[in-house]
Amino acid sequence: MATVALPFSATAPATRAHPKAIAAWLFAVAALVFAMVVVGGITRLTESGLSIVKWNPIGGMVPPLSRTEWDAMFALYKASPQYQLVNSGMTLSAFKGIFFWEWLHRLLGMSIGIVFAVPLATFAALRWIPRSYGWRLVALLALGGLQGAVGWWMVASGLVNRPSVAHERLAVHLVNALILMSGCIWTALSLRESVLEVPVKRHPVAARPTVWIVPFLALLTIQIIWGAFTAGLRAGHASDTWPLMFDQWVPPLASIIDDPVSVQFVHRTLAYAVALAALAVATVTFRAGAGRRAVAMGVLVILQVALGIATIVHGVPIPLAAAHQACAALLLASTIWTAHWSLRGAHWSLRRARR
């Protein structure tokens, strides 16, 4: 069995490409996107998303620093439907509280754009980017730009004739962020693997299952969408009992997109399907050699279900609800990690050489 270096494909000659550096940078970007998802969840839970009705992409990175600036910002908020219909009489001190979370959320978004664009331009100038990875990185940058546009499209839905953002747009905003995070993780894993020296056993691998990837990711995506619907409609407050809702296994249902009771029912029912599927995938991939990847999936899905139940029965406290959303993002990340392992070994058995 010979030891070979896997080729890494680059826009620069192999001697100048730095796949390890690019991978580390992408993992850092993914971590920032994860932080933004968590802060975005807190922003929604604290009803802070509409506190900034106008946004200056450059000057807005600095919050109001004087009483005059705060009064001007507060006056803009007072003209919004949310203040007039929900928060009438709010004090300036309370406004500063909700302003903070939305400002932090947008600041993270701007920071991610800078942390992505500036190093990308630098790596390109230095010709550090491996062949065939340039277009992937540009696509991820475009996806980040789209996320900013989707964020404002979401906020705009709550500035006219309604005191909250459209939950459908909230779902698009969340899913797009998670796609960006997943894309960064997948690309980083590919880059990191590209420089590993491994012995290659030249025969097809039957032990690395791949059939689970598309159906499970589809199921998880649907569950995330209904989680966003649940958050956007405040549907977590529709029922605070588990496993029954209103002393019934199946409560009276209406629209599974717009009715809070129906949305919560769909979200909690899909959770059972996701948990069973994730545990099945974790078991199969662990037996095939996925190791800690499979363990992470199994542990995270159990934790996610536990956090979801605790969030419901305790009346949706912000710490539990935020932890629930964070765990969902981590479960997705672990799924991407396991899926990458499965696909990268689908054709040839790749094992690390013993040193």
Q: Per-residue confidence at 351, pLDDT binned at 50, 70, 90?
A: very low
Q: How many CA atoms lie within 13 A of 336 on its CB side?
A: 22
Same domain, 209 and 173: no
Look at residue 60 in the predicted model and tell me its pLDDT. Answer: 67
Distance CA 27, CA 14 (A): 22
Helix (H) or strand (E) holding 199: strand 197-201
Give Rg (Cα) of the chain: 23
Per-residue pLDDT of 284-319, as tens digits, reads: 999 999 999 999 999 999 999 999 999 999 999 999
Percent of the chain with pLDDT over 70: 88
Average pLDDT (320-339) is 97
Mean pLDDT of 69-98: 92
What residues contact 46, with CB distance under 8 A and at least 6 apart? 97, 98, 101, 318
Could you tell me if 290 and 347 lie in one domain?
yes
pLDDT surpassing 50 at residue 61: yes
Confidence (pLDDT) at 202: 43
The encoded tokens of residue 244 equal 């029954």
- Residue 266 sits in the same domain as residue 137: no
Q: Give yes or no: residues 166 and 122 share one domain.
A: yes
Q: Is residue 79 part of a domain?
A: yes
Identify whether 3 is part of a domain. no
Same domain, 330 and 248: yes
For 188, the token pair is 């980083």
Instruction: Examine the domain organization and report whether 201 and 184 are in the same domain.
Output: no
Report the mean per-residue pLDDT for the chain: 88
Question: pLDDT value at position 53?
Answer: 85
| pLDDT of amino acid 352 | 41
Domain boundary at 161, 195, 229, which?
195
Of the three residues 180, 195, 210, the one that is the final residue of a domain is 195
**Would residue 210 count as lying in a domain?**
yes
Model pLDDT, residue 64: 87
Asked if the structure places residue 82 within a domain, the reply is: yes
pLDDT tens per residue across span 195-245: 654 444 444 445 689 999 999 999 999 999 999 999 999 999 999 999 999
Query: What is residue 59's predicted lDDT score, i.e. its pLDDT?
Result: 61
- Give the least confident one: 23-32, 160-169, 173-182, 323-332: 160-169
pLDDT given for residue 4 in this prediction: 37
Give me the number of domains the chain comprises: 2
Instruction: Give the per-residue pLDDT at 264.
Output: 97
Same-domain check for residues 190 and 204? no
In a 10 Å sphere around its CB, with 0-12 CB exposed, 13-18 middle and 19+ buried, how is residue 125 labelled?
A: exposed
Q: Are residues 62 and 182 in the same domain?
A: yes
Residue 201 confidence (pLDDT): 46
What span, in angstroms and rounded, lies between the C-alpha atoms of 341 and 128? 25
pLDDT at 180: 97
What is the reported pTM? Answer: 0.88
- Residues 284, 190 share a domain: no
Q: Which domain holds residue 74?
A: 16-195
**Residues 141 and 210 reside in one and the same domain:** no
- Give pLDDT tens digits for 120-142: 999 999 999 988 899 999 999 99
- Tens digit of each residue's pLDDT (9 = 90 or more) over 268-286: 999 999 999 999 999 999 9
- Tell me, what's the pLDDT at 204? 47
Residue 330 above 50 pLDDT? Answer: yes
* pLDDT for the residue numbered 54: 79
Closest C-alpha among 45, 97, 104 to residue 320: 45
What would the pLDDT profile of 91-131 be if each residue is shown by its tens digit? 999 999 999 999 999 999 999 999 999 999 999 999 999 88
DSSP structure class, residue 258: T
Indicate the pLDDT class of residue 62, thresholds 50, 70 and 90.
confident
- Inform me whether the pLDDT recorded for 14 exceeds 80: no
Confidence (pLDDT) at 196: 58
Residues 189 and 230 both lie in one domain? no
The residues that bridge with 350 in the sheet, in sequence order, are 200
Backbone dihedral region of 62: left (phi > 0), alpha (psi from -120 to 50 degrees) or beta?
beta
Q: Which of 173, 195, 217 is the last residue of a domain?
A: 195
Same domain, 294 and 350: yes
In whole angstroms, what is the distance from residue 102 CA to residue 42 CA?
Answer: 9
